[in-house]
Chains A and B, each alone.
Chain A
């Protein structure tokens, strides 16, 4: 009886996250996927066919016949989309790397700080979240523009004589990305570094490592899970980022989020926009699934 109760409880515990995924991830994805197989139409909703509960089975079958992968074929035909995907991955990749390089020393410093001031430091990292994301990106526009704070400062200091053109370039996008996603990198890194046993560093030094040697042979390898978590948390949303490239980027910045927006709102082409979104999801999910698969295999091997 007790065994039955506990197994029922165990199943329930597993069912909850699966149900969550099903309702909030899989169902919307299937809706988007289904739209991506339709064609653009001047109707509400703006695609054809649309299914209704009142349809007979024959209607259903006819409508199903009209659905096709034409939108996906179209995506491969126009180099714009391919370029947008590649540039999105590139910008997200470089942003992630820059974020990692900046976040690691910050997280390391926080983890080395006296225990009493660590909560304060953590608070400071989270503090920017208290103001709207949009406001923060807008304020970067006023900092980076040709008449902005940065140029004024540099000119006043006599470092430059002509204002630098930063706003509406990819540089501004990188600055915005690194700034916006820094906390998402710092937090997992900090939690990995904070757990680190200091005696491991002492042991490494005792066995002949300098402080720097001990860092590279012990601290850094042990923080890899934090590095991976942080990179995922930054890279994945960065690929689909829309606001930052739209506000800070220029004509050279072609990111898939912006393409998606244009197809959806300017061209009212929901089916094509859905196809773009579906491909984006595959581009992101497939490598992660592969990574996890190999990770699990490596773990098993170590056992």
Chain B
């Protein structure tokens, strides 16, 4: 069992090093579970399977993701879920092995919409339409049907519009470990401050 230190308030505290050690210990089990289930696993589900706290699972996921760097697999993490997938850099080899059916191509409208959602998530349809200047309803429906985007909540404004974000499937398509790995937008692009004068007064 980990060493426990009593802090000045008399509380038992697991030293950071012990938490790290626990994460190191748990990482292989997490890897095995992800491999065996072969689908996205939520932190709470993994926590239940492994009998550890969600926080411990998240720490183990961090360790596992780091251990897998330089290997043929990677751990994708998004919105409280993880999945073990082949690394994007090795896609060429997997394509040769599986010769997978290519999914229907995305239109440019869909790609632009997806990029806006990826960089600005969570984002409302009104904001997307303000940026693109056209109605995006059908494009959003299509992206949602293809599980590339999902509703992440409702904005706390009149009408409570839906908020959209990307999914693990999106990460799989673009081959990123997490949204944090999205390529940086050009410097000086202060996107957060840009709003539509019509739709977002």
Q: Do A and B bind each other?
A: no
